[in-house]
Structure 1
């Protein structure tokens, strides 16, 4: 109900208000600085041909302008060019090594490993470093040698160590 009243007030006498706004005087040019005004008056007073020169049209320049032909085309974006040149090669996939552990993963792109596989290979390398070398891991999981070296250098699996408290005597193993 309130919207009808507001719309009626907003549209009241709309055509007359629009006509009044259109018939108003157009805005004039911005006023010049007083110092500039006096200088312009002096120049126009001493050289009246300046006003004629400003208002006169030059036929030679107009004819040259008519001869100008501008043909523009939007430049092709570099992203579109790169996308057109670079077509994706089909990726090679491999089956996960221990696929019975994680059933939701169907295949893994070559050069990548799952979290379960990463933990498995880190643990295998930790337990048997002479058999699970970086070269064997890279070959087994289809990884780059440098990636495997970085993985073995910077990532370790958790190891739980329980230390006996200082006030209790530790039971020695026989």
Structure 2
């Protein structure tokens, strides 16, 4: 219902409003500054040939312009030259470590990177067996840098669920 009311107000007296807009005066060019207007008028009074010279074409200049041939090319930036010179070497890939959690869709992984499953696996292995799964061994196993592995082990941990029994009730023993 509200749309019909709004449409009625929008279309009310539409033809008259459109005709009024169309019949308005078109904007005129911006006026010149009075000081320049008087100077231009004075120059035209002293030199009336200027007005004819402005309107006429100079055949000599047109002939010279026809002889000009411009062939332009975009300038080559140093970045484009540098990119053309440096040929990209093929990236090294490695096979995923372990074939669990349906990782068969991943065929190869770039060296220096790991998949999410591998990250969770290595974090869990390090948490369970920190003596055997050291940062150095993980870096060698997964072809990572030692700094990255140290940061990964320091700042990321796998989820661990701990259930605390309420203090006022007895904990239910699982069977």
Tell me the TM-score normalised to structure 1 length. 0.62
Q: Tell me, which stretches of 5 or more residues in structure 1 are unaligned?
A: 1-29
2:152 is aligned to 151
Q: In structure 1, what is the Cα distance between the partners aligned to 2:156 and 2:30?
A: 73
Q: Displacement of 1:80 after TM fit? A: 5.4
Question: How many residues are paired up?
Answer: 142
Q: How does 1:8-157 map to 2 (within 5 A)?
A: 33=32, 35=34, 39-51=39-51, 54=54, 55=56, 57=58, 70-76=70-76, 81=81, 83-101=83-101, 102-157=103-158
Structure 1 residue 170: Cα displacement = 5.0
User: What's the counterpart of residue 10 of structure 1?
Assistant: none
Q: Deviations over 1:7-27 (max 9, x none)?
A: xxxxxxxxxxxxxxxxxxxxx
Report the secondary structure of 2:105's partner residue. coil
Shift of 1:83: 4.8
The offset of 1:34, in angstroms, is 8.8
Q: Which stretch of the first structure deviates more once superposed, 43-52 or 108-117?
A: 43-52
Structure 2 length normalisation: TM-score? Answer: 0.61
How far apart are residue 88 of structure 1 and its match?
2.6
